Structure 1
């Protein structure tokens, strides 16, 4: 694998139109290796364009920063030239990749969906500037950028804006809910959000301007405070949702080809990645499959898609694979199917989050010819032998 520093040098030279034939070849080869590399290139390109755009002078010593980074990360074996603006972009790129965010306005967009959930045991709030707050530790109240942030012992995080909220810097917060956990959030405008396991939400500490916008990876249920002058937007991977005041569920997990919106009240306008725009009404569920690029809308029992906010999963004639996938987020286990066809066996089941996983498995085993055997943190699924 190419050395990281060599790749970044070649990319930056390419963006500055100063690349040698060898550097261009390095970049082309790296881009063809994977989709992740191409996405990384796009992030670096955006950073470069932002850093080279005209801006007010900042109290930031680019030459000194470049020297610090290069002394500790890049030991060049050849002499090469970078203009001041390219060095500026290089500093931003390398620091962001390393997780040291000099420019806080890049914090949310570059980390959402790229967090290693396994590194978190409890719901965690990431603040711009690098502060990481474990929400399970205790209740607290803090003041940040003209907003009051409160956390209580009942898994509720809330924001309140000061009367001078129309002035001052707006900062983004990043809420991470790991596997096996759920949390509730009240945004500065009063909008309520329930966050399911393995979910990330990026949002401003307070809303200003003409719109209210949040970004989601995972699953969340929203009760949006009505405001006709400021529509509310939820951005996910593959779907953008526009609302005025309504309640709806959004599911858009990392690694899944499926993104969906289920409407309980009001109306929402949904735009999917393939350019389709639809407005759905209560009890409708819009689903988008990124792999097939297909959109579908159907009438559903909304309780099947929203009951999780009350600590209950309700399954009606659902395939075992779907049941297991959802239970995994609450109970944290891996699964092995001895026969792939078993994934399609259908069940009707109500799973209370407070119920021990062993008891849930007993119910499935008792009502079917499928055997789910739990060994440590793994569940083995096989055909059950019945005594004649």
Structure 2
């Protein structure tokens, strides 16, 4: 009797430890030796194992589906946020053709305000106002409607002009001629961001909790607090960042993110998708802020091209002749163009002659 009970107990323990298929096989083999009560216990084991597995599978499947849905919704939200900003930038940039402008302009929604040749714009988020200061010291204030909902403003600076933007956090952006900048009167809670077409020098107030991002069509520059120059003209293949102080991270459209140290220059060739990081004297790249042009063995054709843009005029010369002559020195772009051309004649003696009335430059074939 005891042997029979031990045999049945062993069989039950075996049933509990085996799979459903094994149990079914065992039932078929030993069906005649099991009592009705034992068969009920076995089928109960089968039910619990198979139903619980199915429940676990359904729950796991639902959990995975929910996780995927959350990722999709989150990704869509991020995409909408990023795409939304990109659309705003594109729409604002498309409003202005910088090549047809004769005076600097500030755009606030549908408003268009003409600016002085060297205007300063101060942002005040507390009362949603801008204070515009002209070169002669005269100033006026402009209210920005719906500043919280539509915080983006734009300045467009033609050749020969520049503008200084003092943001709400006291960061200062000097915008060079032939450039456009989109900036906010007030920042979002977790970021500081501007969009640039052209060239600007930025002195960013340090804030470890809010990175400062400069976005261009070809690269992103991210900093916490520093001084640097960004040059990103859309029609030029060569884009650059020059770092004066602090550290910045540059992320081009193609290639790896590069961290820069002071006195370094990052050059990105968007046509060849190549980049170079080198040590430089940053002064030569940022002296335009002081209306100075530093020349280091530069072809005259390049010099005249820069002068034409700065003074918004045309000079008549043969490029193939002027490219052969290279000059070095420092030119003050605040003085009248005719005086500047006389200075260039002195820098390149007996090589060129300049007719100031017609603004034509000729190579001296037989200098005296």
Give TM-score scaled by structure 1 length.
Answer: 0.64
The match for 1:301 among 269, 272, 281 is: 281
Instruction: Select which of 116, 122, 134 maps to 1:153.
Output: 134
Task: Measure, in 2, the Cα distance between the counterparts of 1:216 and 1:274.
Answer: 19
Deviation at 1:252, TM superposition (A): 1.3
Contact kept, 8 Å, 2:106 with 2:156, in 1: the verdict is yes
The Cα of 1:371 is off from its aligned counterpart by 2.5
Structure (1 or 2) with the greater helix fraction: 2
**Match of 1:219, SS?**
strand
> 1:349–1:285: structure 2 CA closer, same or farther, 3 Å change rule?
same
Alignment match of 1:222 (pick from 174, 179, 202):
202
Are 1:232 and 2:228 matched, yes or no? no
Question: Over residues 261-299 of structure 1, what are the superposed CA-to-partner deviations in whole Å (9 max), with x where a residue is unaligned?
Answer: 110000100011222311111110101112222211111
Please show how residues 8-27 of structure 1 align to structure 2 within 5 Å.
Answer: none
Looking at structure 2, the residues matched to 287 and 212 of structure 1 have their Cα atoms a distance apart, in angstroms, of: 24
Larger Rg: 2
Compared with structure 1, are the counterparts of its residues 216 and 379 closer, same or farther at alpha carbon in structure 2 (3 Å cutoff)? farther
Cα distance, 1:361 vs structure 2 = 1.9
Deviations 1:290-340 (A, max 9, x none): 222221111111110111111212222223343233323321123454242
**Cα distance between partner residues in 2 of 1:332 and 1:350:** 20
* Partners of 1:134 and 1:155 in 2: CA distance: 15
Question: Partner of 1:258 in structure 2?
Answer: 238
Alpha-carbon shift at residue 106 of structure 1 (Å): 4.6
CA separation of 1:104/1:215 partners in 2, compared to 1, >3 Å: closer, same or farther? closer
- Partners of 1:132 and 1:191 in 2: CA distance: 24
- Cα offset for 1:250? 1.0
Distance 2:345 2:284 in 1: 22
**Structure 1, gaps ≥5 residues long:** 1-48, 54-102
Structure 2 residues without counterparts, runs of 5 or longer: 1-75
Q: Corresponding residue for 1:322?
A: 302
1:78-89 matches, within 5 Å, as: none
Q: Is the 8 A contact 2:121 2:166 kept in 1?
A: no
Residues 195-246 of structure 1: CA distance to partner in whole angstroms, max 9, x if unpaired? 1111100011210132211010111100001111110011112121001000
Residue in 2 that maps onto 1:41? none
User: What is the aligned partner in structure 1 of residue 352 from structure 2?
Assistant: 371
Task: Tell whether 2:249 aligns with 1:269.
Answer: yes
TM-score normalized by structure 2? Answer: 0.67
Q: Identify the match of residue 225 of structure 2 among 222, 234, 245.
A: 245
Tell me the distance in 2 between the aligned counterparts of 1:311 and 1:283.
21
Q: Separation in 2 of the partners of 1:250 and 1:346?
A: 26
